[in-house]
Chain A
Amino acid sequence: MASITDFTPNEMMTIAASRALSNDDVCFVGIGAPSAACNVARLTHAPDITLIYESGTIGTAPDVLPLSIGDGELCETALTTVSVPEMFRYWLQGGRISIGFLGAAQLDRFGNINTTVIGDYNKPKVRLPGGGGAPEIATSCRQVFITMKQATRGMVEKIDFYTSFGHGEGGDHRRRLGIATQGPTLLITDLALWKPDPETKEFTVVSLHPGVTRSQVQDTCGWTVRFAERVEETPPPTELELTTLRELQARTERAHGGKKGS
């Protein structure tokens, strides 16, 4: 039996992210922490949430976390599976998705994401996988949630490449580019919950996870952190949440031979 006083920062991040999802959401799911969070939500408080993976599976309900966005179980448990052009044209571009859930290699305070290159694009220090579906997920889903493990290397003053546009330079930058959707509305890290300031759109800490101090958040973040006037404490994982997550990961590990899929 899982103990609710004994959980890792990663588990707290995944569970805090799962809580942000509701039964009515139609969620475009990325692999990794987003996939774990979405499935914990489905297995706990949001049994009717619609999960969509970019491989074309709509309303999928996998028993284990997929290793890739196109694992067979996603298709077998989906309500329907459509072609990839249809997925991007009708469902994503058509405005049918309420939440896009993204991870980042580099992130700035305005929710702009880089998963393309570290260094110069034409002479990269590190060539990362690139955007995949993310550039359009970031602008076509009604809202975007971001998960990120805090580290000064990842949470940076200036990202090297704009793979996915968040709030740009802040303020009304999205509107000025003709983007009608809300963009990043929530950042869930292993230490805190962050929301954009209503005016400047800079991510601001609104809740610290249990036992986390303000200086821990600042020490693992590459920009000067702003804290909301009132900072809450994130409720610790419930026994149900923690057990659900751990059982999901144990099933996943057994299924993929040691790889967690998260």
Chain B
Amino acid sequence: MAQFQSLQEAVRDNLRDGDTVAFEGFTHLIPHAAAHEAIRQGRRDLTLIRMTPDIIYDQMIGMGLAKKVVFSYAGNPGVGLLRRMRDAIENGWPRSIETVEHSHAAMANAYEAGAAGLPCAVFRGYRGAGLKDVNPEIRSVTCPFTGEELAAVPAHRPDVAFIHAQKASRRGDVLVEGIIGVQKEAVLASKRAVVTVEEIVDDFDDLHPNLCVLPHWTITSVAHVPGGAHPSYTHGYYERDNAAYLEWDKVSADRDLFMQWMKTNVLEKAPDVFAERVKGL
């Protein structure tokens, strides 16, 4: 049953050192405020799962929170590379990290399998691809009916998922719309789920019945954080702050500049700054 909490409380109660955690959002609705709270609370030894690690994992890896990253595209979308993640992989700074690399199709299928309560995902993938030679979690099964060889990967089963969404009702039901990514699957695959939302409304009585809604009993905690996806965006509320993504390329290129930026913009701030950041977008 969803509890309404401050983001500080939600992170404190749901994310523990050593956890396997997914902060999801496919370009849209990336839970930046939640990731910043995790950084402020200084969680350690996390296994981070995410299709496109994006700026938030670049920041968490750069601050030394991660011991392992499971991913399928380590880029700053539309801009270039994730420089903090690269520094950890290439130079072990600030610590070395283990990586488990997949394709998007594998990651999406692994979340879906997790949500479906299956031990693994089966799909037609990785044919001729090099990843299956470097990732021992990519195996194959033979279809018992046709004899076709198919790829198999273990289901994602995070301890906790963090997502951002448009609305929660007073009961704690959550509405996600626009590019809905893999968030529903990430929530249903996880033991606990924390959702930050732009807005809390009385009920969802006037909504179209086919909208993507996660019932309150699938959610552990809801935190009201307007602007909580910035510099990603929330469809219907504010646009993607492309300039911030471009700026990150410069900030993340230098270790000292990065540490200074994190101090000023994350460590010394609280979740309420996000509402200010999306004004005018």
Contact = CB atoms under 8 A, between A and B. Distances in A.
B173 interface: no
Contact of B77 (A70, A89, A92, A112): A70
A165 to B, nearest CB: 3
B71 A178 contact: no
B74 A57 contact: no
Interface string A65-83: 0111111101100000111
Interface of B: 26-28, 51-52, 71-75, 77-79, 81-82, 85-86, 89-90, 101, 103-105, 108-109, 111-112, 123-131, 134, 148-149, 178-182, 184-185, 212, 233, 235, 239-240, 242-243, 245-246
A116 B101 CA distance: 10
A54 interface: yes
A132 B178 CA distance: 21
Given A56-B181, A129-B81, 13 more contacts: A57-B179, A70-B179, A70-B181, A71-B78, A72-B239, A75-B178, A83-B185, A85-B111, A89-B109, A89-B112, A93-B124, A130-B73, A179-B128
A134 B125 CA distance: 10
Given A68-B27, A177-B127, A88 B74 contact: no
Given A121-B134, A130-B101, A131-B103, A136 B125 contact: yes
A237 interface: no
27 contacts: A31-B78, A67-B240, A67-B245, A68-B78, A68-B245, A69-B77, A70-B77, A71-B240, A75-B235, A85-B108, A88-B108, A89-B108, A93-B123, A116-B130, A121-B134, A126-B90, A127-B85, A129-B75, A130-B73, A131-B104, A131-B131, A132-B72, A163-B130, A163-B131, A173-B128, A179-B127, A259-B78
A164 B81 contact: no
Contact of A66 (B78, B82, B86, B212): B78
Query: What range describes how many residues of A lie at the interface?
Result: 35 or more
Contacts of A130: 71-75, 101
Interface string A82-102: 111101110011000000000
Contacts of B131: 116, 131, 135, 163
Nearest to B111: A85
A160 to B, nearest CB: 9
A117 to B, nearest CB: 9
